[in-house]
Structure 1
Amino acid sequence: MSTAFVAPFLRVGLVGFGFAGRTFHAPLLRTTPGLQLCAVASSQPAEVHAQLGPHTQVWADPLALIASPEVDLVVLASPNDSHFALAHAALQAGKAVVVDKPFTLHAAEAQALVNLAEAKGLFLSVFHNRRWDGDFLTLQALLAQGELGRVVRMASHFDRFRPLVRQRWREAAGPGGGLWIDLAPHLLDQALQCFGAPAALYADIATLRDGGQADDWFACELRYASGLRVHLSASTLAAHAAPRFVVHGTRGSYRKWGLDAQEDALRAGTLPDPAQPEHWGHDPQAGELTQATDPAQPDQRHTQAWPTLPGRYPHYYAAVAAALRGHGPNPVPPRQALAVMQLLDLGRESAARRAELSVQIVS
């Protein structure tokens, strides 16, 4: 990475003020010590000023914001099909860059951005925020502590009930739309973080809603050489949502219902307080841990409530600020996000061919 920043504040320009920019990035950027959200590229300046105040500079042209000498870090929360071109322009302009997931539309684009950032010695990261979901942090802690033994099966569901198709780019036909590119990056990234790259992948991707224009359901099976199977799925037609996680191992099982509460808090306008981080991210819904009381008598099992660790979305931008000052690692290195993109591409191919395909992560 290039020379670390030493100014009191890193000046941030946010491109896009739709759902992701307004709900996730702007609130987290505003409350991260050492970062100053000073400019937004948006076609709706009134919304920007209503949330961020009249002092925030609003640019109609994202390329003009990217070129501004008053911006150190460019954060891209624009539509998915714009990520590659805008990130490429920002890196060419010598900026540090954060890209909302998905990194790009295809792995070849992601690879080109990784190569460019490395050639220029520039910071590049991808906002895989669900690494800091409380339930996922809890699962990682259980795995690290060996509470489940050798894991043989994990099912990870991201279910919603949205039967009506809305007129927005996320649900439209064409590049960048659909549930696979929207939610599969989260689930695939979490699987890679827990278990590494699988040996093979099978995906089924479909459009099930009346009037649906883009895929709104998927199921993906990751097969590991160890025998582990990881099932990932998401749906917009699940009035009875499946558990968020069900994980089985040789020592026991963990089950957790409900989605992480941080998104709802941010939607409601609640901001994390960096002076009181202990007040943020709490999930009152505990998981369940079931284990045999005596390994010699597996029929005798004990189930206990397992508290969910607090979610930590603010950690991402705090780590970005530290990394840009040379005080810590990139929280999501671009090559990790590239691996996710390679699995996304392979999933599309698997669904089209209706076949399990071998996985070869190319770094």
Structure 2
Amino acid sequence: MQKIKTALLSYGMSGKVFHAPFLTVHPGFELLGSWERSKKAIQVDYPTVKSYATLTDLLGDDVDLVVVNTPVETHYEYAKQVLLAGKHAIVEKAFTTTVTQAQELAALAKEKGLKLAVFQNRRWDSDFKTVQKVISEGLLGELVEAEFHFDRYNPLLSPKQHKETASDGAGILKDLGPHLIDQALCLFGLPKAVFGDVRITRAHSLVDDWIDATLFYPDFRVRLKASFFVREANPAYTIHGKKGSFLKPRGDVQEDELKLGNKPNQTTWGTESDENRGLLHTEMDGKVIKEKIKTLQGNYYAFFEGVYQAIVHDAQEPVMAQDGVQVMQVIEAIIQSSQEGKVMHCL
């Protein structure tokens, strides 16, 4: 099996939790190491890999694929250097800080004949996969509205300075927002227009921490919300159609399992507790049905398998650069809408 030699641009939470476990479990990848500026932590977990002192050292090594998992405001700069060095790239969300930057990276990857994937791992959450199945099977009939939440109760400022310093890459809109937006676009495509409201609600916060955005589609609406002041959780997904409704709490267990140091597998990984099953209340063949339905298994491994197939067999990336461009189009429309207090077109 061909091995893709892979390096990370940081080994903080994302490198340790979301990338390294899958890159070391998947037989098609070889983790070479990570760029580490101060803490030298990767060799504690993976003694045989390298800790690169500089980006130049990393790009000068025999690396095929680089994971750009640094703070958002650096994504464009680092991803561009990676592509110019002739390496394939995975870029964390938010893809970039502007649409123009996203378009430039997409064009550069195409020009160089390289694969460029955006790490939208939440497409492979168990709860979202179940929502996707309910909608695709037409169990709710013609859709009327959907509401997605990514809420937390966390009134304190983050100890991570880059998350709380006012910059083009900071704030909940470019942290949790890309998950919500990407899931909406994955299900429904690019909306015609957007109305957005972006606020600061925490004391002493310098960055946005509350968003409420409505995406306008021809025959239905999708509302996306994220807040740090939700102590009692809303359903993560509420979808209403002309035949019925589906309500699903957030229940994916993968992040918690990875934080505990557990390794992904292909059998039991990503299996939710039955208590988090979604409620389906609809009508089928003239009969009203109200029942909890089984949640599909989640697995971020599928993203890395998709990247492997893209690089080795020239398949389409599991999340394309153009997907990242469209998420940035919606983000920019939300920002402008919030500033001007009016509906903005995305196209």
- TM-score of the pair, normalised by structure 1: 0.91
2:21 to 20, 23, 27: 27
Pairing 1:156–2:145 present: no
- Distance in 1 (CA, whole Å) between partners of 2:292 and 2:332 is 38
Question: How many residues were matched structurally?
Answer: 344
User: Quick check: 2:181–2:327 contact (8 Å CA) kept in 1?
Assistant: yes
Q: Secondary structure at the match of 1:24?
A: helix
**How big is each residue's C-alpha offset from its partner over 1:138-196, in whole Å with a ceiling of 9 and x where there is no partner?**
11111121111111110000011111112311232222111000011111111111111
For 2:193, the equivalent position in structure 1 comes to 200
**C-alpha deviation, 1:52, in angstroms:** 2.1
* 1:103-142 paired onto structure 2 within 5 Å: 103-142=95-134
- Distance in 1 (CA, whole Å) between partners of 2:141 and 2:122 is 24
**C-alpha deviation, 1:125, in angstroms:** 0.7
For 2:157, the equivalent position in structure 1 comes to 165
**C-alpha deviation, 1:205, in angstroms:** 0.6
Pairing 1:286–2:286 present: no
Q: Percent identity?
A: 35
- Distance in 2 (CA, whole Å) between partners of 1:86 and 1:256 is 37
User: Quick check: 2:4–2:65 contact (8 Å CA) kept in 1?
Assistant: yes
- Distance in 1 (CA, whole Å) between partners of 2:91 and 2:40 is 24
- Distance in 1 (CA, whole Å) between partners of 2:85 and 2:284 is 60
1:351 to 335, 338, 341: 338
- Distance in 2 (CA, whole Å) between partners of 1:25 and 1:33 is 14
1:238 to 212, 223, 230: 230
**C-alpha deviation, 1:330, in angstroms:** 1.2
Of residues 331-340 and 320-329 in structure 1, the stretch that sits farther from structure 2 once superposed is: 320-329
Of residues 58-67 and 86-95 in structure 1, the stretch that sits farther from structure 2 once superposed is: 58-67
For 2:44, the equivalent position in structure 1 comes to 50
1:175 to 168, 171, 174: 168
* 1:253-292 paired onto structure 2 within 5 Å: 253-273=245-265, 277-284=266-273, 285-292=276-283
**C-alpha deviation, 1:294, in angstroms:** 7.1
2:33 to 36, 39, 57: 39
Pairing 1:317–2:304 present: yes
User: Quick check: 1:25–1:77 contact (8 Å CA) kept in 2?
Assistant: no
- Distance in 1 (CA, whole Å) between partners of 2:311 and 2:158 is 39
Divergent runs of 4+, >3 A: 292-295
* 1:216-235 paired onto structure 2 within 5 Å: 216-226=209-219, 228-235=220-227
* 1:178-189 paired onto structure 2 within 5 Å: 178-189=171-182
User: Quick check: 1:290–1:302 contact (8 Å CA) kept in 2?
Assistant: yes
Give the 3 Å change call, closer, same or farther, for CA 352–146 of structure 1 in structure 2: same
**How big is each residue's C-alpha offset from its partner over 1:26-76, in whole Å with a ceiling of 9 and x where there is no partner?**
1121111210111200124532122222x11001212321232x1110111
Say what the alpha-carbon RMSD is for the aligned residues: 1.5
- Distance in 1 (CA, whole Å) between partners of 2:51 and 2:46 is 11
User: Quick check: 2:278–2:294 contact (8 Å CA) kept in 1?
Assistant: yes
AA aligned to 1:355 is K
* 1:48-87 paired onto structure 2 within 5 Å: 48-53=42-47, 55-68=48-61, 70-87=62-79
- Distance in 1 (CA, whole Å) between partners of 2:156 and 2:112 is 45
**C-alpha deviation, 1:293, in angstroms:** 6.5
- Distance in 2 (CA, whole Å) between partners of 1:22 and 1:193 is 27
**C-alpha deviation, 1:212, in angstroms:** 1.2
- Distance in 1 (CA, whole Å) between partners of 2:30 and 2:172 is 32
- Distance in 1 (CA, whole Å) between partners of 2:289 and 2:322 is 41
Pairing 1:340–2:327 present: yes
Unpaired segments of 5 or more residues in structure 1?
Answer: 1-6
AA aligned to 1:58 is S
Q: Secondary structure at the match of 2:175?
A: helix
User: Quick check: 1:67–1:90 contact (8 Å CA) kept in 2?
Assistant: no
Q: Secondary structure at the match of 1:272?
A: coil
- Distance in 1 (CA, whole Å) between partners of 2:85 and 2:152 is 40
Q: Secondary structure at the match of 2:191?
A: coil
**C-alpha deviation, 1:267, in angstroms:** 1.1
Give the 3 Å change call, closer, same or farther, for CA 150–63 of structure 1 in structure 2: farther
**C-alpha deviation, 1:311, in angstroms:** 0.5
For 1:4, the equivalent position in structure 2 comes to none
**C-alpha deviation, 1:19, in angstroms:** 1.8
User: Quick check: 2:33–2:42 contact (8 Å CA) kept in 1?
Assistant: no
